Amino acid sequence: MITVFDKSMAEAVHVNSLDEDVRSFVPDEVFETLEKAEKALAWFMGSYGTRAPLVYPLLLKSGENIGYVQAVPLGAGWEIGYHVVKTHAGKGYATEAVKAFLPVIMAYLKISEIAGECLEENMASRAVLEKCGFRLRSKDIVGHWGEKRMMRRYSYRTSA
């Protein structure tokens, strides 16, 4: 289930952010303390309805928070982002979430194209984007947290 954040989710946001893949691929999304997670969560909740990143938690039917899906401003457009914690990775949750999220967020934002990008070595994210119909547009060497890394850039377009 994709839903909106509430204050009760701070502990899950904190714990999920400590995942080794978050540290490796999106270190700016690591919240080392509960207090930092609470501040981030308050910012996420205050961002709904704005042009700031729109971040939504992913919950299992049990209510367990296993990650997030988001739309992030990128220049004049938007980029999709997502993460499922390692203990639930490889089960299709990220692909399912992205497929469900795309039509809703694109209609909400009134856009017909959205970008996606991931590091070359992030095979899981590459698979999610490709399974969801994103097309590879380029591969570029970029600065990524002080290192030169190969980035794959994708785009997704609606048929309308």
Query: What confidence score (pLDDT) does residue 160 get?
Result: 55
- Average pLDDT in the chain: 91
Domain boundaries, the chain: 7-112
CB-CB neighbours of 29 under 10 Å: 18
Give the tens place of pLDDT for each residue, 22-69. Answer: 777 777 788 999 999 999 999 999 998 887 899 999 999 999 999 999
Name the percent of the chain lying above pLDDT 70: 99
Among 19-28, 76-85, 88-97, 151-160, the minimum mean pLDDT is found in 19-28
- The CATH homologous superfamily to which domain 7-112 belongs is Gcn5-related N-acetyltransferase (GNAT) (3.40.630.30)
Give the tens place of pLDDT for each residue, 84-107. Answer: 999 999 999 999 999 999 999 999
